[in-house]
Amino acid sequence: MKTIQTLINGAFRESKTTHFTTSLSPLTQEVLAKVPCMLKSEIDEAATIAHNAYLEWKNTSIMHRTRVMLEYQGLIKKHLNELAEILSIEQGKTIDDAKGDITRGYEVVEFACSAPTLLMGETVENISRAMNTFSYRQPLGVCAGITPFNFPGMIPLWMFPLAIVAGNAFILKPSEMVPQTAMRLAELFMQCDVPKGILQVVHGQKEQVDMLLDHPLIKAYSFVGSPKVGAYIYSRATANLKRAQALVGAKNHMVIMPDAHEEQVINALVGASMGAAGQRCMAISVALFVGDSKKLIPKLIDKLKAIKPGAYNDPNAAYGPLITKAALNRVLELIENGIKEGAELLLDGRGIEIKEYPNGNWLGPCVFGNIKTHMEIYKKEIFAPVLCVLEVKDLNEALEIINNNEFGNGTSIFTNSLSSSSHFIKEVAVGQVGVNIPIPVPLPFFSFTGWRGSFYGDLHAYGKQAIIFYTETKTITQKYFLQEDKDGVVFNFQGN
Ligand code: NAD
């Protein structure tokens, strides 16, 4: 059986721990790998080495750091198919979805290639007589990232390329359920021209995350995962007076106006609610049918009856299995509770069998009607191919429901009316908003952060402001002398 290695000081090696978890195939329950819960001494070693690597790396030229990212994006592109297969096998999503997962991460690496522009500071001349101010963006030091199971490629790539190109060192703690994609991405990164300790990969669970959170040499954290764990990590990191951002849970609503294009609505809902088995933080899990648009509900259900989950390499599979038996059992319990609470299971995907993989964590498409907003099935993030359907009288009622939900990650409206879409864009209290787009994930040059219970922190993933000043510019390159240059040099600050 494969044992997952650690990456410390540029070397892939086994941990000395005796405590392991296992990563299981969601298709067969076969053990794919043993994952170490690393020792404190190993986490300390990783932090110290990362800190030393940062001290060297922060002084490398920005062009060198940019070239590393150019090299890395070439390697990811070259290995796309291989990475997608590793990802599909351990996570279960279809090969097409896995390629999308890697490609969304690859786009962040491409974005990191514009580091010289991204890292530009600001200047103002004459803030007082003969006095100018300029600002630099300087790295923080060692940063750490803790990532979830659902995007094993994209989410690690959200984090370490941007941190490293800015001059930081990075410690990645991938999800113990899907560590192999992250390890392969790390192997490819280490083929680039980087110092040995600039990226380290450690493994484990809560105990190891606590070691990272409390380590004095680690200055900032990015977390993506479930709300409870995110709240814990954010609180512990900030109690340690560190910087932290946590991108967490979601309950994303799609509003269907009566004037929306029928076929587009149905296709969008099928893909956005069931795609990737609903295990996406931007999946649509609630459909709000406004007025007459409720006539589309039977058509939606007919379309959903025609799709089926399947293995990652089955070209007819609409999506894959859930990640674990525990995840499946949790969803089955939520469905039972929904029925007990009075919701109506309009489409029941429980008990679906896929002949070749009888032990897979399968759940067919499920749709709940007669939903009330106090119900657990409405309030909780389900993270599965389960859609809740509500009928509302107008757009304002839809907005009230969305804005009162605990989460505010993504939302969408389908309409042909400019005034409905404009009103929605202005009034909805959600981070990512789509108009006739069901899953509005922005490209890396826009920020990606939820509102309310979907995001903790004020360090936005990338908080670029869209303000352009049309001016002439003058660039001044100022050389200063290092201490060792000073011997024998007479400084004349008055002239030349
Ligand atoms: P999770 O919170 O269980 O695990 C995420 C990471 O935290 C893993 O690396 C895990 O080892 C670690 N962890 C787990 N328990 C911990 C604890 N008690 N203390 C410290 N660390 C701990 O999340 P998951 O199930 O892997 O991922 C699914 C969740 O991620 C969903 O809620 C989903 O909405 C969310 N998610 C959010 C976004 C976003 O951008 N908002 C993106 C993807 C996923």
Min mean pLDDT across 37-51, 240-254, 361-375, 443-457 is at 443-457
pLDDT tens sequence across 255-310: 999 999 999 999 999 999 999 999 999 999 999 999 999 999 999 999 999 999 99
Backbone region of residue 10 per phi and psi (left: phi > 0; alpha: psi in -120 to 50; beta: other values): left
* Pairing status of strand 243-247 against strand 455-456: antiparallel
Average pLDDT over residues 127-150: 89
Which residues 6+ apart lie within 8 Å of 20 measured at CB? 3, 34, 35, 36, 37
Contact 253, 404 (CB under 8 A): no
pLDDT for residue 464 is more than 60:
no
Ligand 1 center to 297 CA (angstroms): 33
Separation between Cα atoms, residue 286 and residue 272, nearest integer Å: 10
**Nearest atom, ligand 1, residue 176 CA:** 11
Amino acid letter, residue 75? L
Average pLDDT over residues 95-106: 97
Instruction: For the chain, give the percent of residues with pLDDT over 70.
Output: 92
Q: Whose CA is nearest to atom 35 of ligand 1?
A: 225
**Nearest atom, ligand 1, residue 249 CA:** 34
Average pLDDT over residues 30-55: 98
**Nearest atom, ligand 1, residue 175 CA:** 9
Higher pLDDT, 483 or 160: 160
Q: Whose CA is nearest to atom 30 of ligand 1?
A: 225
User: Which of the four CATH numbers 3.40.47.10, 3.40.50.620, 3.40.605.10, 3.30.70.1230 does domain 2-122+135-247 have?
Assistant: 3.40.605.10
pLDDT for residue 494 is more than 50:
no
Separation between Cα atoms, residue 283 and residue 251, nearest integer Å: 8
Q: Whose CA is nearest to atom 9 of ligand 1?
A: 175
Pocket of ligand 1 (CB under 6 A): 146-151, 173, 175-176, 205-206, 209, 224-226, 229, 232-233, 247-250, 281, 381, 383, 409, 450, 454
Separation between Cα atoms, residue 116 and residue 99, nearest integer Å: 29
Ligand 1 center to 296 CA (angstroms): 35
CATH of segment(s) 252-454+469-492 = 3.40.309.10
Ligand 1 center to 174 CA (angstroms): 10
Ligand 1 center to 24 CA (angstroms): 17
Separation between Cα atoms, residue 407 and residue 429, nearest integer Å: 9
Secondary structure of residue 456 in the 3-state scheme = strand
Q: How confident is the model at residue 468 (pLDDT cuts 50, 70, 90)?
A: very low
**Nearest atom, ligand 1, residue 233 CA:** 20
pTM: 0.93
Backbone region of residue 452 per phi and psi (left: phi > 0; alpha: psi in -120 to 50; beta: other values): left
Q: Which of 258, 259, 282, 260 is nearest to 271 (CA)?
A: 282
Best residue among 175, 215, 284 to mutate for probing ligand 1's pocket (most ligand atoms within 8 Å of CB) is 175
Please state the domain extents for the chain. Answer: 2-122+135-247, 252-454+469-492
Ligand 1 center to 37 CA (angstroms): 17
Amino acid letter, residue 160? F
Separation between Cα atoms, residue 365 and residue 385, nearest integer Å: 5
Q: What are the start-end ranges of the H helices in 259-307?
A: 262-274, 297-305
**Angle between the 395-404 and 418-427 helix axes, to the nearest 10 degrees?**
20
Which residues 6+ apart lie within 8 Å of 485 measured at CB? none
Say how far residue 6 (Cα) sits from the centre of its chain: 22
**Nearest atom, ligand 1, residue 204 CA:** 11
- Residues assigned a catalytic role: 281
Backbone angles phi, psi at 79, to 5 degrees: -105, 20
Q: Whose CA is nearest to atom 19 of ligand 1?
A: 206
Secondary structure of residue 163 in the 3-state scheme = helix
Which residues 6+ apart lie within 8 Å of 161 measured at CB? 69, 72, 108, 109, 112
Amino acid letter, residue 346? L
Q: How confident is the model at residue 22 (pLDDT cuts 50, 70, 90)?
A: very high
Ligand 1 center to 456 CA (angstroms): 13
Q: What are the start-end ranges of the H helices in 342-391?
A: 376-379
**Nearest atom, ligand 1, residue 281 CA:** 34
Separation between Cα atoms, residue 16 and residue 37, nearest integer Å: 9
Instruction: For the chain, give the percent of residues with pLDDT over 90.
Output: 82
Ligand 1 center to 59 CA (angstroms): 34
The kind and range of the H/E element at 188 are: helix 179-190
Q: Which residues pair with 21 in a beta bridge?
A: 35
Q: Which residues pair with 243 in a beta bridge?
A: 220
Q: Which of 141, 151, 153 is nearest to 52 (CA)?
A: 141
Strand ranges, E, within 149-206:
169-173, 199-201
Which residues 6+ apart lie within 8 Å of 14 measured at CB? 3, 5, 6, 36
pLDDT tens sequence across 420-445: 999 999 999 998 899 999 999 888 88
Contact 439, 279 (CB under 8 A): no
pLDDT tens sequence across 333-375: 999 999 999 999 999 999 999 999 999 999 999 999 999 999 9
